[in-house]
Structure 1
Amino acid sequence: MMRMKMKILLVQADRDAGTFNTLTAAFFIPSIALEQVAACTPQGHEITMVNEWYGKVDTGIDCDIVGISAFTKDAFRAYTIADEFRARGIPVVLGGYHPTAMPQEAKQHADAVVMGEAEVAWPKLLEDVEKGRLKEFYGGKKVDGGTIPPARRDLNGYHSFFAAIQATRGCPYKCEFCQMTGFGDTLHRKRNVAEVV
């Protein structure tokens, strides 16, 4: 079967879109969620990434599918973006911490919700889109630390003062207040040192 080439837009939603500056930069390390999702996207698709830390996404952009990552503080902004793309008939996928914690809420604004880590779910989701069989929910599988692909930093187009490096995932502790415990991510997984450095 010949693979359909899609124009994929990946968005990191931010409630304060476009207000990122060097004063606040000292307190935040940018998420590499988009770069990780891009890294597990099968070859042949055209990927555009927009991190709203640096400016608002243009909801009029030409694309075939939109993937939006959101923290809880950014959920309403993510839903606004999603609703605007869906009004144009473009399928939207929501993922990240908030959609994982609140999948039924997120589903009200999306065609599909990825819960947990996207590396396994995302390629399957794109395959389902190509076959016209997009499911409502994807996820649940943890990625082995040795199989996490290097982030696609070549696509981000931003000049951040900080570069996030992900050497591990998960945590061996079970603190009641921590989101990782709530997501069941208590397995500490390490990446290959050569891939991190």
Structure 2
Amino acid sequence: MKIALINPKGALFSRNAALAQAMANSETMRSFRYFWSAPNLGLLTIASYIPPSWSVTYIDENYRGLDFNEWYDLVLLSAMTVQVTRAYEIAAHYRQKGSLTVLGGIHATVLPEEALQHVDVVIAGEGEELFPQFLKDLQNGDVKPLYRSSHKGTFSLLQCKIPRYELIQGYPYPLVNLYTTRGCPHSCSFCCASNVYGRNYRQKAIPQIITEIQTIQRVYPDTLLLFADDNAFVLRKQAKELLRQLKGRGLRWIAQTDISAAEDEELLTLMRQAGCQWVVIGFESIQANSLRRLNATSYKARNVSSYPEKIQAIQSHGIGIYGTFIVGLDEDDLSVFSQTVDFILQNRLYGANITVPTPLPRTQLRQQLQAENRIRSNTWEDYTLWDVVIEPKKMSAVELERGLISIYRALMDPQNAAARLAALLHTVRKERHNDTKRNLSNC
């Protein structure tokens, strides 16, 4: 069979022209663009289950245009919410030509009934578990329209195959992603990760992870790696053992974690030694009242007062922090914009990603805002995370939009950006000097 794996084009930045242009033209936002410019790992993963005799082509529409004159027996698409309308358009073209169309990814998983109106088959759940079932039915001529996990979050990652990274060779990706764990015990109102992957953490074996990294390095030597886990270091004992195994391999990588990493000196030392460049931490807000509404445990609200000292603890190891924030939450007033800027600049964060509340499908936030009749748009292309699609509570939609732009303008100011970078570089050089002294003392 001839198969196309298609990652549909999606908005990298806001659809608001002023904000999108400012971010696109800013050198200081380069790390931001890196983080959102990785391969579609879901497609590469399911490709590893396709029989080797079948012809497989990977097409990332963000880098390469589609030729609708090309014939494929099977068209496999994976899409986030902001991409899904384009995915439906692509599927319509190929269905008209007679191709069998299949859609997976997070949007299809949470809204399979909608997806089924646009494609022949929906994979609603983890591809490693469901795609082999689909392939078996395909070969037996008994394809079903919907494949859904009966018990989400139970698939063992020890059974995972290595994604087919060779399929992306030639694409100018600034980084390549992989994951080592899956699952999230938190149930944040704006996120549906626990609904998709379950609340229990599952982990790949360390030899699996090492082999996967080596596979990536053969295709993209010296690339920046992104550990795409929702929270990479929760399973602390296993994470430390992995970091020990990564030392001395000349890797450069980034990861998503939470602020509790600051409390573990051994972990931070191992991260630096293993090649960690920066970490993404979801602070979400600097206001305790806003944080209390984000999840039932109020974990972040209880830690907000210690954010500065914990940021210092992490960045003192030469590891930059890329903070993520949401402005326009129900407890936020107009002061949130200047306060967020002050927090980022005072703590010399390496970078920051500031978004607005977005009622993504099957989230608690969407249920709340639907009940309150506060959703302004149900057009999925608007769900970029930077476009205002709700009616905020303590400001107008226009004020929220202007406030978001004001934050990015302040962060992109060359003087502010240079000060943040200089502070991090000073710490990195200091840590390298200390490492050299420690190595010499051990000789």
TM superposition score category, shorter chain reference: 0.7 to 0.9
Residue 155 (structure 1) aligns with: 167
| Equivalent-residue separation in structure 2 for 1:26 and 1:103 (angstroms) | 30
| Equivalent-residue separation in structure 1 for 2:101 and 2:157 (angstroms) | 28
Equivalent residue for 1:179, pick from 169, 172, 192: 192
Q: Which moved more, 1:132-141 or 1:93-102?
A: 132-141
Q: Which moved more, 1:54-63 or 1:117-126?
A: 54-63
Asked if 1:12 is matched to 2:7, the reply is yes
- Deviation (angstroms), 1:16: 4.4
Residue 25 (structure 1) aligns with: 33
Kept in 2, the 8 Å contact 1:120–1:139? The answer is no
Pairing 1:116-155 to 2, within 5 Å after superposition: 116-140=125-149, 142-155=154-167
Gaps of 5+ in 1: 1-5
Kept in 2, the 8 Å contact 1:118–1:139? The answer is no
Length-normalised TM-score, structure 1: 0.87
Compared CA separation, residues 120 and 164, structure 1 to 2 (3 A): same
| Equivalent-residue separation in structure 2 for 1:175 and 1:125 (angstroms) | 32
In our comparison, the structure showing a higher alpha carbon Rg is 2
| Equivalent-residue separation in structure 1 for 2:9 and 2:37 (angstroms) | 14
- Compute the RMSD of aligned alpha carbons: 2.2
CA-to-aligned-CA distance 1:76-98 (integer Å, 9 cap, x gap): 10000000000101110011011
Asked if 1:70 is matched to 2:82, the reply is no
Kept in 1, the 8 Å contact 2:109–2:124? The answer is yes
CA-to-aligned-CA distance 1:31-62 (integer Å, 9 cap, x gap): 31111011122332221111122123222222
| Equivalent-residue separation in structure 1 for 2:5 and 2:148 (angstroms) | 18
* Structure 1 counterpart SS, 2:122: strand
Paired AA for residue 146 in structure 1: L
| Equivalent-residue separation in structure 1 for 2:197 and 2:176 (angstroms) | 27
Kept in 2, the 8 Å contact 1:29–1:164? The answer is no
* Structure 1 counterpart SS, 2:175: coil
* Structure 1 counterpart SS, 2:208: helix
| Equivalent-residue separation in structure 1 for 2:197 and 2:44 (angstroms) | 23
Residue 56 (structure 1) aligns with: 65
Kept in 2, the 8 Å contact 1:16–1:53? The answer is no
Equivalent residue for 1:47, pick from 43, 56, 59: 56
* Structure 2 counterpart SS, 1:114: strand
CA-to-aligned-CA distance 1:2-50 (integer Å, 9 cap, x gap): xxxx111111112349xx9994633425231111011122332221111
Compared CA separation, residues 26 and 43, structure 1 to 2 (3 A): closer
| Equivalent-residue separation in structure 1 for 2:45 and 2:135 (angstroms) | 15
* Structure 2 counterpart SS, 1:164: strand
* Structure 2 counterpart SS, 1:163: strand
Kept in 1, the 8 Å contact 2:182–2:197? The answer is no
Aligned positions, number? 190
- Deviation (angstroms), 1:187: 1.8
Q: Which moved more, 1:147-156 or 1:7-16?
A: 7-16
* Structure 1 counterpart SS, 2:163: coil
Residue 189 (structure 1) aligns with: 202
Paired AA for residue 68 in structure 2: T
Paired AA for residue 56 in structure 1: G
Is the helix fraction higher in 1 or 2? 2
Gaps of 5+ in 2: 13-23, 211-443
Regions of 4+ moved over 6 Å? none
Paired AA for residue 45 in structure 1: W
* Structure 1 counterpart SS, 2:45: helix
Q: Percent identity?
A: 32
Kept in 2, the 8 Å contact 1:41–1:122? The answer is no
Equivalent residue for 2:182, pick from 169, 187, 192: 169
Residue 100 (structure 2) aligns with: 91
| Equivalent-residue separation in structure 2 for 1:195 and 1:106 (angstroms) | 33
Paired AA for residue 119 in structure 1: E
Paired AA for residue 63 in structure 1: Y
